[in-house]
Amino acid sequence: MQNLSKLEKIEKINQYLQYSESIVNLFYELLELQNSANCKNIAEFCNLDDSKIDTAYPYEYANEIREIYPNFDKGLNVFDYSENRIFGQMRNLKNDFFNTVLKKLND
């Protein structure tokens, strides 16, 4: 299936799944994402501006979060400067990813 075009892949998915076009497109996006999942691709999937997301974040700040939320390291945490270019805020791309999938499923 790797050498097929996007349209051919979508048609193949459609052969096996009798879902709406939006659901088939979501499956396609998820299949494509699994081959190259990184912060940039996940941000793009979630319609976030990846140029304003930084995978480096303040270590001391992360330690303070770990004290409150021990599962912090299980997230895909980035620093997001889209709303505040100077200070930014911590963002978990895993949350954004699943929220986007749920939103697309409900559209």
What average pLDDT does the chain have? 85
**Strands across the sheet containing 53-54:** 53-54, 77-80, 89-92
Whole-number pLDDT of residue 107: 75
Low-confidence ranges of the chain (pLDDT < 50): none
Whole-number pLDDT of residue 72: 92
pTM assigned to the model: 0.72
Whole-number pLDDT of residue 1: 55
Can you give the chain as a three-state secondary structure string?
CCCCCHHHHHHHHHHHCCCCHHHHHHHHHHHHHHHCCCHHHHHHHCCCCHHHEECCCCHHHHHHHHHHCHHHHHCCEEEECCCCCCCCEEEEHHHHHHHHHHHHHHC
Whole-number pLDDT of residue 84: 75
Whole-number pLDDT of residue 32: 80
Domain ranges in the chain are: 1-35, 39-107
Whole-number pLDDT of residue 77: 93
